[in-house]
Amino acid sequence: MRAAARARSAVQRIVDRTSAWLHSHPFVLHSRPFSSSPSDDDESPSTSSAPNQTERRRRKGSTPIDPLTPPPPASEFPPYEPRDFFRYELIHQSKKSAARVGRIHTPHGVIETPGYVAVGTNGALKAVPHQELAAAGVDLMFANTYHLMLQPGPDLVASAGGLHEFIGRDAPIITDSGGFQVFSLAHAGEKDGEEMKSRRPSKHKDAAGLLVRLDEDGVLFKSYRDGSRVVLTPESSVEAQKSLGADIIIPLDELPPYHIDRAVLERSVYLSHRWEARSLKAHLRDVRQQAMYAVIHGGVDRDLRRMSVEYLTSLPFDGFAIGGSLGKDTAELVELLGHLMPQLPKDRPNHLLGIGDVGSILGSIPHGVDTFDSTFPTRSARHGTLLTRTRGRLNIRRSENSTLHEPPCWECACRLCRHHTVSYLHHLDKAKEPMMWTLATEHNLHYMGWLMRTQREKILSDEM
């Protein structure tokens, strides 16, 4: 590609100019390969399961490669064919925009789209049983492979019959590769709070970060639970997700930040493509009635996004997720989607990773986005913010709400709005009663279900 040729000729000049930055960010490719034997300064890395023989050989014989090495061509994969256990059904295409109403058919039920996806990090929603999702009209639940890999472990989940049996859910589940959490463990830079997907220090990492090393084989990171070192590769991520048994799984990819040099971003896109190709090959060897979504990368660079779409849509993925940095705010996100979404296949579902605030959802649906996952509604609830139809955002911690003896929303059918008042919830919050989290979270989930239902109705009547 022309862009790739220009980047190759400029790499050395750019690297020299940004060498300090490169050395301080461990998600950039290093020349040091993984080894089956740890170095003197490394603890023995652990994995969720033992690597297969091919993987051990690759680690032992690994040598640095050109970071702009193309991924495997589409000719190495079988052509895409719809699955009998997974398919996208278009119900209505809006006459006013690219917005569409559809259904994603999975082995554990139907996902109505556009739809919000609730995040149950450890296989559980915080403070609310996942059965509440059905009452709220939320069909799909997101679980995080990274966290489940560390506790209780994919083998234990598999011994229980898979994640559906383990948590008692007879409805669709999607798991990620673990990549987002791993790369969020990297050192948090001064500008890392500028984008929509934050990398700021959290309870799972300190300012120094927990990501130890990244190379062609995968990543080495320290467990936030006990400090042990864990290797994650495209193959081991897929193997873990096979043990978990979700309906939709995601290939391993790299997540570079928003404020990144274009040449470094291009290297990251190539690496993600090579990892996603390896993930897809591992998946196709043992499909198990699971669908795999590709992850489109390229940050806010239109050329790199186009390159990513062209390559990944040439492979037999069952759907497409939009990942990586999605801009610094909703306006940049919506502008990016206006460029990106028309390039995606219309016969398969798509998903916007990690974005689920109301403004971004309303701006994205007219571009044809099918599903959105985010902790925003549930996290906001735990911090005292209710999303309501009649009052907008309601901060129950404000002093004036201590005497508001009315339901948060007269039109909402959730337990909080049917039986309790704002003043009662204000009291529970001040008293630090756990019931506050439960009632507020249930309410916000019901709000998201209502929001998506009304958007589907508007599309069906060509109002959007």
Q: What are phi and psi of 277, to 5 degrees?
A: -65, -45
Structure tokens at 380: 């906001």
* Alpha helix segments (H runs only) across 44-188: 53-61, 132-136, 145-150, 154-159, 163-167, 179-184
User: Considering 192, 217, 373, 429, which one is annotated as catalytic?
Assistant: 373
Q: Tell me if residue 40 is catalytic.
A: no
User: Considering 139, 176, 253, 301, which one is annotated as catalytic?
Assistant: 176
Q: Kind of pairing, strands 371-373 and 115-119?
A: parallel
**Cα angle value 384/386/391 (rounded, 5°):** 130
Instruction: Name residue 370's amino acid.
Output: D
Bond prior to 152 in cis (omega within 30° of 0): yes
Distance (Å) of CA 148 to CA 98, 157, 248: 36, 9, 16
Structure tokens at 100: 């569409």
Please give, one letter per residue, the 3-state secondary structure of 133-146: HHHHCCCEEEECHH
Give CA–CA dist 396/84, Å, rounded: 48
**121 and 147 Cβ atoms separated by less than 8 Å:** yes
Q: Kind of pairing, strands 219-222 and 229-232?
A: antiparallel
Give CA–CA dist 11/263, Å, rounded: 7
Q: Tell me if residue 170 is catalytic.
A: no
Give CA–CA dist 229/226, Å, rounded: 9
Structure tokens at 318: 């069952």
Give CA–CA dist 150/273, Å, rounded: 26
Give CA–CA dist 280/370, Å, rounded: 22
**444 and 386 Cβ atoms separated by less than 8 Å:** yes
**217 and 237 Cβ atoms separated by less than 8 Å:** no
| Active-site amino acid positions | 176, 373
